[in-house]
Structure formats: C-alpha cells, structure tokens
Structure 1
Amino acid sequence: MKRSIFTLVLLLLLTGSIKAQDNLITNIKHRKTLSLNGKWHYIVDPYETGFYDYRYKELKEDNGDAYWNTGIPANKTAKKEHGYNDKYTIEVPGDWNHQKPEFVFYEGTIWYQKTFDYKKQDSGNKYYLYFGAVNYRADVYLNGKKLGMHKGGFTPFNFELPAALLKDTGNFLVVKVDNKRYADEVPTLNTDWWNYGGITRDVELVEVPNTFIRDFMVQLKKPHGGAIPAKQPEVEGWVKLDHQPSSAQTISVSIPELKLTKQFTTTDSIIPLSFKLPGQVRLWSPQAPKLYRVVISAGTDKTEDEIGFRTIEAYGKKLLLNGKPLFMRGICIHGEIPQDVRRAYTQQDAAQLLGQARQLGCNMVRLAHYPHDEKMTRMADSLGILVWSEIPVYWTINFGSAEVLSKAKAQLNEMITRDHNRASIIIWSVGNETPISATRTDFMHSLITKAKQLDSTRLVSAALEVNYSALKDQNIVDDPLGQFVDLVAFNEYLGWYGGLPDKCRTTNWSTPYNKPLFISETGAGAKAGFHADSLSRFSEEFQEWYFKEQVDMLKRMPDNFVGLSPWVLADFRSPKRNNPVYQEGWNRKGLYDDKGNKKKAFYIMQNYYKQKTKEEVK
C-alpha cells in the first residue's frame, strides 16, 4: 500500500531527515504577549559606527561605544558619543522612509531602542522576542547582550530571552536595522519596488510554559484523482512541542463547534495527527468562508486558532477547490498603502487592500513579491479570498550560490511555517520572472522540493517569464520549470512591452505541460487623470484599450486556462520608474491610482469578472 506524500513528510520530520522550522513560534495572535509597538528611540548610523571600530572590526559586547549599550555616561569625565532620547523617536511598526522627510531615500543602518518593564509570571516559563518582520538585517540586543541576527525583510523570527536577563523594570532593548541591498541577498540588488527600511511589523514579548506548543498544522488530507471530499473528510497534521518530553505526553485537539475532541499520546516532540471530521462539517470556500475554532492542548500549554477546512488540487488541466473546478478572478497586490506612501501593516491596511480587490470582483489575490503581513492572510481567511503567497526570489538572483539558496529556503520556511494553517492560501510561489538557465532551474527546483516537503497540501508554483514567439499567432509557455510546478503561471505584457494592444487579436497561448495555465501578471501603465486618445502611452485610454484587447484574447485561451491576476491593484513606489511627467518614481500600472481613485481600466476587468461569476453560477 502506497503512503501519501504527507505521511512520508511526517515520517521524515520524525526521523530528522527533514528539518522543520526549528525556532519560529506560530500563532502569536493567541499567545500571552506584551506588545512592544509604539515609540522607539533611534540613531541614524550610515557608517555603522556603533557596530564596528575604526579598523572595521565588530565591537566587543561590553564596549561602551557600541550602540547596543546605554549612552548615559558614568560620570562627567566619561566620553560618550552616542545616546538615546526623546528628541529622536520613530513609530514601530512602520517603515522609516515615510516617517521623516530625510529618510525617503535612505538605505543603511538605523538603531532602534526601547525601554520596557515586564513582571515574569512563573520562574519556570520561557520568554521570546518575536518580530513580524524587519527589513532587511536585524541584530537584536537586550540589556547589552546579543540575542541573535536575522536576515529577510518580510518573514517573522524570534529569539529566546534568558530568564535571568529579563528584568522586572528598565529592560534596554536595541535593534540594529540595516536595509542595504547586496548581490548575494534575497531579494538581490535590482527590484521594481521601494526598499522600505525599518521594523515594519509588530514586535511582541511572548511568554510560554517550559514545554509548550511551538507549532501545529491541522489541514484536510490532500485529495487524489480529483476526488470530492468525503462526507467525513479526514484531517492530517501534526503538533510540534518545544522539546521532546521525558515521559509520555498527551496532546488534545478539539473543535468545540463540531463537538469533537481527539487525544494522542506520544514521547516524540513532533506528534502526527489523523482523524475524521463529523459529517456536518462545512468546507471553506470563497462563497462560504467558514472558520472553526481549533484548540490544541499539551500539559499546561494551550493554544487555538481559527481554521478553515478545504482541499485544493491540480488535476489534469483543472484546478479543483473542494473537488470542484475553480476559476481564479485575481489581482496582484503590493504590501503598500499608496495614499500614505508607506508599507502596509495594520488591520485597516489589510481591509483597504482586500476591500479594493473585492470591489474589482476578485476571489483571489497574488501577494507579490514577498510574504505580506499576517493580518492580510488572516483577513483573507475570513473574507473568503484565495491567496498566492511568494518569496522574493526576484529576477536575477545569484542562482549559482549555495549561500543564496540557503537564504531563499530560510525565507520559504518562515513563510510556510507562519501561514500553513491559513485556508485562504492555496499556492506557495518560489519566485518571479527568473531567467532560464540550467543553474537557475536547479535552484528553483530545489525550492519547489523544499516547499512540498514543508507542506504537501497546497500547490507550488512560480511566475514564469515569457519570451514572445517569432510565430505570428502562437506563444508557447515552455519554461523547463513547468515540469516541476503544479500550476503553470506566466507573466505577459503583450501590447505594453513590445507592440501595441491590438497584437492580442491574433495571439494564442499554450503550454506543452498537461497542467492548469494561469496568467500571473498582465498590465499597462496609466497616469490617473491623463486623458488622450487610446494610442497615447500613459493615458487612461491606452490602459483601457490594453485591457479590452486582453479580455478579448482571454476568450480564446485553451481549456486549461484557470484564471489571471493582472498587475496591479494600485500604483506603488519604485525608484526604477522615472518619467518626469507620468511616473515620478511610481509604477503606474495600478487599476487604482495612488489616491484610491479607479482608473478606466478598472471597469473593464470588473465587467469581465462579473461575467465569469455569472458563468460559474450557471
């Protein structure tokens, strides 16, 4: 009897052949925490004087000139050339670029400092500092001691606080944040979005018991062969304890609304779960985004989450949600609030972006080109919006570097670990528009394999780049990565990059892979309010014409076409876009402008999606 891929992954996890995310604590929303958001002091340090000495050697931990130590002099003769005070404060979370005019273009190091009090509840408990995201490198210090370093601007991380280091009053927390771009980082030097620096997401102090539930996954068993979920669908998953108990440990999983409780006893630190749901369970879908409260208990620890149960599968040429064909009416979104020219990080920000997508008629969003704030994916769960989530392997990464691959895998790991219980996420993406070569394909294939090891219940894809065919009327999506992805997705800008929109009238698309086909990007730029004839670039009329021709072309797509996510929901900042009249540092391909106004092209896509919705109802 063949074992499922999910079961094999669990066995490998248990035997140590695959290393799970070792230290990330998930489900922070339902933990005991102290928020460290708010005003922090800062020091701008472009020469990294607080980190290196004049010979460019890293300062020793107890060096009084190091900026992780207090700048208060011991006496009047002591020399101190740094300090933190209320004259220089900045809000956390939030990028620094929008908070101070002098920081708009700044790339470099800024030191963040906050003092806080914390009364420990139990001498046997553990304590962690959790960061939703810091762009890009974070070096974290508490009371003069370094807790650790993390790289990756859009994924969460945490460091354990030694209990003896954590004081009841006057804890001195410092974070060195460096957002400089480097060729061997992920993303690399060249991107088409603004490099917002800072502590851009929530900061929490987390308190947990000595043995606690670090992570868990509760999902429906992956279907096979296009099967519709059974009347009593089967759940597979696991619970990961912080460390292996010295004696048998009982894990309890309950779903109160379904009057279901299951117990599992084991001495392992990773406990596989398998049980059937009652017949009255309601599956999650965009039409009915039902979430159930799931409670996990182990010893003195208990956590819970709101989880939707659904299946997703690429079966032949179809994409099946809960065993039924799915057409994705999508849109790409950047994690940015254009009217404030800043990173998105609040609940209100998520409501704005996903609300605009719903106005367009979307049932799906592509969160490009990096993992977005957890508030986005949780809100997508509650609204019933399907999600494509992506790591920033973007354009020309150093595909020949083992170190870069390791960094990409770390970010993939953190993205999946944070969100593997989100019903809305149906696609993990390992990159965008990567140029074809054998080295690149090996690099990307390795990421796809890693993603499937971490989570076999979802699809894995990448946004492929199209090289337009010399043939007059046929473009074939034949990237060799297509043999490894579950969904063949490609970016096309026919009529914007090369030729005019009427080129769509004779163009057809196909792929040699017997898999669902998806347009992950298509779009044209328009300066809102600039009106002219349809041949005038950057006019709203040109963008409107572009989407009219695209929609007509979509009607001729092959039978494996399962949807699209045009580029992009709203105009966003980019240093690459420097037309002094129409761009001025903005990518203008949004269907909304930077003030939240709808452009004429918005209504073309909205009408197309209305028609597709009517077809689905039939």
Structure 2
Amino acid sequence: MTKELNRIAKSIDHTRLTTGASNQEDPLNEVTDLIAYNRYFGWYGNDCSEMGKWIDREHNKFPDRCMGISEYGAGGDVFQQADSLIHPEPWGQWHPENWQTFYHIENWKQLSARKFLWCKFIWCMFDFSAAGRREGTTFGRNDKGLVTYDRKIKKDAFYFYKANWNKDANVLHIAGKRNNRLSTQINDITVFSNCGKTELFVNGVSMGKKNPDNTCIAEWKNIKLNPGKNYIEIHGGNKKDSCILYLE
C-alpha cells in the first residue's frame, strides 16, 4: 500500500517530495523520499541515551536515507512532583513532571547535535483526549503535552524549549518550582535561561553567577536550604523569576 500511495503521489506531482512516519525498522522505510521515526527512548522502556545511539546506527547503515524524528516525548503531570529522578511506568498513574523535563533535556541534547536530521518533532504541544488511555492522573487523556489540557499551565519542558528556540524573547525560568515541598536540605537548583549570565539568590544571599550552557541550562549544585520556608530568586539581564521552597 505504501508503494502504491508513493506511486500515485509521484504521478500527480513528481516535483514534490513524499514522506512517511514509521516506528519500525522495515524495508518500507526506503519507499518515500523522506522518512521520519516515532521513537520514545527513555519513556517506553530503554534509556534516554539510546536516542543518539540508535540514530547513529541507522544513519551508518543507511547514510543516503533522509531521516528525521517525527515523534518523541514523555508524559508529565504538573500535579505530580518528585524529589528523586526515577523512570516512571508509562502505563501507570504516576507521571511526575521532573521526569518529563529530564527526558526532553537529554533527548534534545542528542537531537540538536545531529544536524543531518531533517526534522525533530516533539509529541506534543498540548495534553489531549485519547479515549483508550488509562494512565496518569486523568484516564482518557495523553499527558505528553508541553502545556496542560486546558492550555493554562506551561510545563517546565515548555520553558526549556522556549529558551532554546525563541531567541526573540528573553526566557528565565526556575525548573521544578512546583516541587516546593522538599525532604532533603541539600538540593540542586536548575534554571532555563537565554539571558546570559544568571545569578541565584537563596534567602537574599547570592549563590554566585552562572553562564548557561549551549542548551540554555544553568545549574547550582548542592545548595543548602533552611528548615521551613526558603525564598529562591534568579536574575538574568533585566529578567527575574522566583519561587518559595519548603524544607520539611
């Protein structure tokens, strides 16, 4: 059927490229002019680091194939927060936001480094209805969006991409601010910034300035918090962001 569809498309207009999306390693991937893959390394099993390794293997086997990534993503619920970073069960009810953020950071580092990919499409912008789903907080919903179903809350991963992709807008965002009930005194503070050198203040005291890396991440390691309420603020250029963290 794929071959027949490709033949028909070429007969209608031979000047246009044909493309297909696939999640299989199959001879049909050779039929269209372009091919893109739906790959979820680090969500449906495997590890996030497998994305780049798999792409390189495919590219080495088929160096003339115009390949891209048509879907990659992970579930994330803004009402589910975790101190630790543990790969959740994708079909389960626990989809903490911090794993989605980690997933997108690690995958984008690998995808952005491979310039031969003709596309890199996130799945997806918004949480959406999916009748057969029995996972996450709400059954009948796919929570892989960068924004919640009601379009009201932008998840941390949204700001990661905005900092990297929208150079016309200054972005300064403290990641994990919704995880404001902490159980350990020593914590890392991660910030997404395209505002140049960024300074962190904890309870009014400067923790120093950091230059974001090439994926717009600035990170302060081993920050000590006080028991109870802690006021976190970051400054970058003419932008600032803040949150309150509670050490219980």
| TM-score, normalised via structure 2 length | 0.56
What is the CA distance between 1:501 and its match in structure 2? 2.6
Match of 2:85 among 530, 534, 544: 534
Root-mean-square deviation (CA, aligned residues, Å) is: 2.6
Task: Name the aligned partner's letter for residue 448 of structure 1.
Answer: N
Q: Helix, strand or coil: the match of 1:450?
A: helix
Q: Helix, strand or coil: the match of 1:565?
A: strand
Match of 2:107 among 525, 543, 550: 550
Deviation per CA, 1:46-99: give whole Å up to 9, x if none: xxxxxxxxxxxxxxxxxxxxxxxxxxxxxxxxxxxxxxxxxxxxxxxxxxxxxx
Deviation per CA, 1:6-60: give whole Å up to 9, x if none: xxxxxxxxxxxxxxxxxxxxxxxxxxxxxxxxxxxxxxxxxxxxxxxxxxxxxxx
Q: Helix, strand or coil: the match of 1:496?
A: coil
Match of 2:33 among 461, 482, 486: 486
1:453 to 2:11 alignment: yes
Q: Helix, strand or coil: the match of 1:501?
A: coil
Does the 8 Å CA contact 2:127/2:143 hold for their aligned counterparts?
yes
Q: Helix, strand or coil: the match of 2:158?
A: helix
Alpha-carbon distance change, 534 to 455 in structure 1, aligned in 2, over 3 angstroms: farther
Does the 8 Å CA contact 1:495/1:546 hold for their aligned counterparts?
yes
Match of 1:594 among 139, 143, 149: 149
Q: Helix, strand or coil: the match of 1:463?
A: strand
In structure 1, the residue matched to 2:20 is: 462
Does the 8 Å CA contact 1:518/1:563 hold for their aligned counterparts?
yes
In structure 2, the residue matched to 1:166 is: none
Give the Cα separation in 1 of the matches to 2:125 and 2:10. 29
Deviation per CA, 1:531-580: give whole Å up to 9, x if none: 213326311111000001101111442x521221111111111122113x
Does the 8 Å CA contact 2:146/2:158 hold for their aligned counterparts?
yes
In structure 2, the residue matched to 1:518 is: 68
Does the 8 Å CA contact 1:568/1:591 hold for their aligned counterparts?
yes
In structure 2, the residue matched to 1:583 is: 138
Q: Helix, strand or coil: the match of 1:591?
A: coil
Deviation per CA, 1:276-313: give whole Å up to 9, x if none: xxxxxxxxxxxxxxxxxxxxxxxxxxxxxxxxxxxxxx
Give the Cα separation in 2 of the matches to 1:505 and 1:547. 13
Q: Helix, strand or coil: the match of 2:22?
A: strand
Give the Cα separation in 1 of the matches to 2:54 and 2:8. 36
Match of 1:563 among 103, 111, 119: 119
Task: Name the aligned partner's letter for residue 101 of structure 2.
Answer: E
Does the 8 Å CA contact 1:489/1:520 hold for their aligned counterparts?
yes
Give the Cα separation in 1 of the matches to 2:145 and 2:18. 26
Equivalent pairs, count: 158
Give the Cα separation in 2 of the matches to 1:595 and 1:605. 20
Does the 8 Å CA contact 1:515/1:560 hold for their aligned counterparts?
no
Task: Name the aligned partner's letter for residue 550 of structure 1.
Answer: N
Deviation per CA, 1:303-353: give whole Å up to 9, x if none: xxxxxxxxxxxxxxxxxxxxxxxxxxxxxxxxxxxxxxxxxxxxxxxxxxx
What is the CA distance between 1:497 and its match in structure 2? 0.8
What is the CA distance between 1:589 and its match in structure 2? 0.7
* Pairing 1:113-128 to 2, within 5 Å after superposition: none
Task: Name the aligned partner's letter for residue 547 of structure 1.
Answer: H
Q: Helix, strand or coil: the match of 1:514?
A: coil
Extract unaligned runs of 5+ from structure 2. 89-94, 168-248
Q: Helix, strand or coil: the match of 2:118?
A: strand
Alpha-carbon distance change, 504 to 561 in structure 1, aligned in 2, over 3 angstroms: closer
Give the Cα separation in 2 of the matches to 1:505 and 1:453. 36
Q: Helix, strand or coil: the match of 2:29?
A: helix
Extract unaligned runs of 5+ from structure 1. 1-442, 467-477, 612-618
In structure 2, the residue matched to 1:498 is: 45
Task: Name the aligned partner's letter for residue 85 of structure 2.
Answer: S
Q: Whose Rg is larger?
A: 1
Task: Name the aligned partner's letter for residue 146 of structure 2.
Answer: L
What is the CA distance between 1:506 and its match in structure 2? 5.3
Task: Name the aligned partner's letter for residue 552 of structure 1.
Answer: K
What is the CA distance between 1:495 and its match in structure 2? 0.5
Alpha-carbon distance change, 555 to 564 in structure 1, aligned in 2, over 3 angstroms: closer
Does the 8 Å CA contact 1:505/1:549 hold for their aligned counterparts?
no
Give the Cα separation in 2 of the matches to 1:598 and 1:520. 22
Give the Cα separation in 2 of the matches to 1:526 and 1:570. 11
Deviation per CA, 1:79-131: give whole Å up to 9, x if none: xxxxxxxxxxxxxxxxxxxxxxxxxxxxxxxxxxxxxxxxxxxxxxxxxxxxx
